[in-house]
Amino acid sequence: MTQHWSAPSAPGPVHSTVPVPGSKSITNRVLVLAALADGPSTVHTPLRSRDTVLMTAALSSLGVGITDREDGGWDVLPGLLRGPAEVDCGLAGTVMRFLPPAAALAEGEIRFDGDPHARTRPMSTVLGALRSLGVEIDGDALPFTLHGTGSVPGGEVTIDASGSSQFVSGLLLSAARFDKGVTIRHDGKPVPSLPHIDMTVETLRSVGVGVDTSVPNVWRVEPGVIRARTWHVEPDLSNATVFLAAAAVTGGEVTIPHWPAVTTQPGDAVRGILERMGCAVEVSERGLTVRGPAKLSGVDIDLRDESELTPTVAALAALAEGRTTIRGVAHIRGHETDRIAALVNEINAVGGNATETEDGLVIDPAPLHGGVWKAYADHRMATAGAIIGLVVPGMSVDDIGSTTKTIPDFPGMWDAMLTGGA
């Protein structure tokens, strides 16, 4: 169900400390590895949102034991994977692309489906790769049915991963359990969001999986054991950027506690982006603190590796002085919605001046007015509208409920931030 929401305006500069839940990207990678490990694992400080709950439900349906902990984490007990099973992917790319390679290790029939828009998201790269590695699958997009035999031969596969880094990560996560492991060769335009692949590689190495990345655009995983371990999930830095943006557009100050000193999360790039737009950025024992300027400056920026930040940067740009050009993000047309078209439509609908380019968008200064900001069932589109609503009265978001994909209670966190109580 959609949930219409009147976006609150900030009464003045926002001053707040905002604790942010765990990373969705890390949580769902950890869950897959824990399900395939050689013993029980514990996951502390995970994100509990629609995407991660869908992942736990899917793994449970395949025979993995996942139990809630009193501290909000999960205990994961691997089991003999089996069907028949029905997997609801929702609109989660990490479920629809990470889980089929793991499910291919099950014995039995597993049917995958998801939200209506999920059926339009690119899947043929992953499914075609699995077929070439010895897996029987009916269909090239959601819904599809996988016929598991209890093992996957594995081997070498060449794919075009220019549409999503998740195509590579999904295959890598389960590769050690394939009979021959996997060698993935990318053949195509540059792979977007490479930090997400780095995240996958580092996560695999932390559980004893050898990953050879010595040749550009080639990833090799030898067959072997995935070790069980205890995990502590970092805060979700991409979700945190929305709250940091509140400081940027109101000339306020927001701190995100426990910002990691070293991370593979692409959201960490927000530090440099905000500095380029005129903010003061400081990392201390308190966390990451951003202080907004009197007026933001436009930027010319390539977000290929940090494309999930595009809606937030576009919202900032709509409120900035000077032109902003965002490049390198053509692949986000295949995300929860066509984010480039959606951002241009919604910025222009509230008086802005945005135009599409082949691989991004251009935003020029223009006076904005209130109106209904459409979320397109996309969590990051919804939060972009909330950012603009801080300084443009009369803004509303037609589906704030879409934010539960990655933030369990975004409206509550937003209100707490505005009162300094987060």
pLDDT for 197 equals 95
Please count the helices (runs of H) and the strands (runs of E) in the chain. 12, 23
What CA–CA distance (Å, rounded) separates 113 from 111? 7
Helix (H, G, I), strand (E, B) or coil at 188: coil
90 is in an annotated binding site: no
374 is in an annotated binding site: no
> Two tokens at 235?
């805060």
Helix (H, G, I), strand (E, B) or coil at 110: strand
166 is in an annotated binding site: yes
29 is in an annotated binding site: yes
25 is in an annotated binding site: yes
Instruction: Specify whether the CB–CB gap between 384 and 7 falls below 8 A.
Output: no
What CA–CA distance (Å, rounded) separates 353 from 27? 37
405 is in an annotated binding site: yes
DSSP 65-90: EEEE-TTS-EEEE----B--EEEE-T
pLDDT for 265 equals 94
CA angle (62, 63, 66) in 5-degree steps? 110
User: Average pLDDT for consecutive 10-residue bins of the chain (422 residues)?
Assistant: 87 96 96 98 96 97 97 95 96 96 97 95 95 96 97 96 93 98 93 91 97 97 98 96 98 96 94 98 95 98 95 98 97 91 98 97 97 96 98 97 92 94 54
44 is in an annotated binding site: no
Active-site option among 234, 253, 306, 308:
308
Instruction: Specify whether the CB–CB gap between 82 and 108 falls below 8 A.
Output: yes
Question: Within 10 Å of residue 272's Cβ, how many Cβ atoms?
Answer: 12
CA 245 from chain centre, in angstroms, equals 18
List the one residue out of 41, 109, 107 whose CA is nearest residue 80. Answer: 107
List the one residue out of 381, 415, 391 whose CA is nearest residue 2. Answer: 381
Q: Which residues contact 164 (CB under 8 A, 6 or more apart)?
A: 93, 97, 122, 125, 192, 193, 331, 334
CATH no., domain 24-221: 3.65.10.10
> Two tokens at 94?
């990490």
DSSP 355-419: EEETTEEEEE------EEEP-TT-HHHHHHHHHHHTTSTTEEETTGGGGGGT-TTHHHHHHHHHT
pLDDT for 1 equals 53
In terms of phi and psi (left: phi > 0; alpha: psi -120 to 50; beta: otherwise), the region of 213 is alpha
pTM of the model: 0.87
Q: Which residues contact 115 (CB under 8 A, 6 or more apart)?
A: 89, 90, 91, 377
CB burial of 164-193 (b: ≥16 within 10 Å; e: otherwise) equals bbbbbbbbbbbbbbbebbbbbebeeeebbb
308 is in an annotated binding site: yes
pLDDT for 95 equals 97
Q: Which residues contact 317 (CB under 8 A, 6 or more apart)?
A: 296, 298, 299, 324, 326, 363
Instruction: Specify whether the CB–CB gap between 203 and 231 falls below 8 A.
Output: no
Per CATH, which fold does 5-21+235-418 belong to? UDP-n-acetylglucosamine1-carboxyvinyl-transferase; Chain (3.65.10)
Question: Within 10 Å of residue 327's Cβ, how many Cβ atoms?
Answer: 16
174 is in an annotated binding site: no
380 is in an annotated binding site: yes
307 is in an annotated binding site: no
Per the annotation, the verdict on 234 as an active-site residue is no
User: H or E stretch including 17?
Assistant: strand 15-17
pLDDT for 20 equals 95
CA 419 from chain centre, in angstroms, equals 28
Q: Name residue 111's beta-bridge partners.
A: 86, 145
- Helices 410-418, 379-389: axis angle to 10 degrees equals 20
- Per DSSP, helices labelled H in 88-189 are 93-103, 124-132, 166-175
pLDDT for 329 equals 96
121 is in an annotated binding site: yes
Q: What is the β-pairing status of strands 300-302 and 287-291?
A: unpaired
> Two tokens at 207?
């559980």
Q: What is the separation, in whole angstroms, between the first and last Cα of the chain?
A: 27
> Two tokens at 274?
């905000």
Sign of the CA dihedral 41, 45, 47, 48? positive
What CA–CA distance (Å, rounded) separates 146 from 160? 22
41 is in an annotated binding site: no
Residues of the chain with CATH 3.65.10.10: 5-21+235-418, 24-221
pLDDT for 421 equals 59
pLDDT for 163 equals 87
> Two tokens at 370?
């209130």
